[in-house]
């Protein structure tokens, strides 16, 4: 009898594509180049009756302490109706490249008390430290609070242009140790022993002049690089050359990220699926191995919606081919996601599935 192919005929194969070349800087960062969080506890004043109020002792106590420093020994009882102040948590992020004395940073403030809104308020001068309590003074924050989301009026921001946090000391990124070494840290989704080893070899082949080992992979994510002695006084040129070196990316762990709300599907290019048949909302989706051979007695009749995809002898196919076929047949985004989830549940999707 004739062989009828289902709505999706997935005779799937993997066609090797050339590896993509990127720069070292595209997939790594230098150890020590990381953001840092400054924190503080401050008072927002000037509120129109929307503050913590006199019943919130945590707000009144620091207000009383502040006023006493200005020669006004007010009592707690006298502040019972002070609903124009609010205690807030204050945070600022120092960029990965560090910050210098006098730099201004954006400041985020969040009420920690009974305030109904911070709208119209201004942050009183607030000392800021590192994330660990008891550290040195690093910055002073002050300025008008801007409410960016009306649905959360107890959270606001003070932009650097309006004051923000002013650095009171240098906080540089420390990237080179006493031995003249720095660490290249590979991005999460590019990290592997193969990638780390390849980057180390590229650095040694490019920069070593007498066979010395300048770069060594210590695991799949970190590479220790030693700056040549004659460049340690001014290492910028050496580090810049390292970051611009080209790297042929190796295949990384297969991942598929799906988002039900937005209907998006993000995958690596090497996500494989095994032969499988799935019926979903009237659609029949099949992978067929091997391809049936037509004959006079058993011709292959192809449905007008069928899509044939090239095959190899490995018996697996690429998920991107399936998604492309579903796109051509206008399968709704949520149906595509449900199909991918079914493939994963049945063990036919050979990848890590991440649901956002």
Residue-wise pLDDT for 139-149, tens only, equals 999 999 999 99
Q: Could you give phi then psi for residue 215, rounded to 5 degrees?
A: -130, 135
pTM value is: 0.62
Question: Going from the N-terminus, what domains does the chain have, and what CATH number goes with each?
Answer: 3-16+253-355 (no CATH), 21-32+175-248 (3.30.1360), 36-171 (no CATH)
Distance, CA of 39 to CA of 224 (rounded, Å): 32
Distance, CA of 331 to CA of 334 (rounded, Å): 8
- Structure token digits, residue 143: 């300025």
Distance, CA of 311 to CA of 306 (rounded, Å): 15
Q: Which residues pair with 44 in a beta bridge?
A: 86, 123
What is the separation of C-alpha 233 from the centre of its chain, rounded to a whole number of angstroms? 34
Residue-wise pLDDT for 79-135, tens only, equals 555 678 888 999 999 998 899 999 999 999 999 888 899 999 999 889 999 877 678
- Structure token digits, residue 19: 């590896």
Identify the residue with better confidence: 246 or 51. Answer: 246
What is the separation of C-alpha 93 from the centre of its chain, rounded to a whole number of angstroms? 16
Identify the residue with better confidence: 115 or 289. Answer: 115
Q: Give the residue among 90, 266, 63, 97 at the shortest CA–CA distance from 172.
A: 97
The pLDDT > 70 percentage for the chain reads: 73
The pLDDT > 90 percentage for the chain reads: 40
Provide DSSP, 246-280: EEEPPP---EEEEETTTTEEEE-TT-EE-S-EEEE
pLDDT of residue 190: 84
| 115 contacts 51 by C-beta, under 8 angstroms | yes
**160: confidence class by pLDDT, cuts 50, 70, 90:** very high
């Amino acid at each position: 009898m004739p062989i009828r192919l289902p709505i999706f005929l997935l005779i799937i194969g993997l066609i090797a594509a050339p590896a993509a070349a990127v720069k070292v800087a595209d997939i790594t960062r230098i150890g020590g180049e990381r953001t840092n969080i400054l924190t503080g506890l401050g008072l927002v004043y000037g509120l129109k009756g929307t503050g913590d109020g006199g019943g919130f002792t945590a707000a009144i106590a620091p207000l009383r302490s502040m006023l006493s420093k200005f020669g006004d020994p007010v009592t707690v009882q006298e502040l019972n109706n002070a609903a124009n102040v609010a205690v807030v948590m204050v945070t600022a992020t120092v960029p990965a490249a560090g910050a210098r004395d006098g730099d201004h940073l954006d400041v985020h403030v969040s009420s920690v008390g009974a305030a109904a809104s911070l709208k119209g308020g201004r942050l009183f001068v607030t000392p800021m430290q590192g994330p660990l309590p008891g550290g040195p003074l690093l910055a002073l924050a002050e300025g008008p609070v801007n409410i960016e989301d009306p649905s959360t009026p107890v959270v606001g921001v003070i932009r650097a242009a309006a004051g923000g946090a002013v650095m009171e000391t240098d906080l540089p990124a420390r990237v080179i140790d006493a031995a003249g070494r720095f660490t290249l840290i590979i991005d999460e989704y590019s990290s592997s022993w193969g990638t780390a080893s390849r980057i180390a070899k590229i650095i040694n082949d490019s920069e070593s002049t007498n066979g010395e080992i300048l770069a060594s992979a210590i695991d799949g994510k970190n590479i220790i690089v030693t700056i040549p002695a004659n460049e340690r006084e001014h290492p910028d040129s050496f580090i810049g050359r390292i970051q611009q070196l080209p790297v042929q990316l190796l295949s990384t762990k297969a991942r598929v990220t799906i988002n039900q709300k937005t209907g998006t599907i993000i995958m690596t290019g090497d996500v494989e699926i095994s032969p499988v048949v799935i019926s979903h909302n009237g659609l029949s989706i099949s992978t067929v191995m091997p391809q049936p051979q037509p004959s006079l007695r058993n011709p292959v009749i192809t449905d007008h919606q069928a899509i044939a995809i090239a095959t190899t002898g490995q018996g697996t196919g690429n998920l991107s081919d399936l998604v492309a076929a579903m796109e051509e047949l206008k399968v709704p985004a949520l149906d595509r996601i449900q199909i991918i989830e079914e493939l994963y549940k049945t063990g036919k999707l050979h990848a890590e599935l991440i649901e956002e």
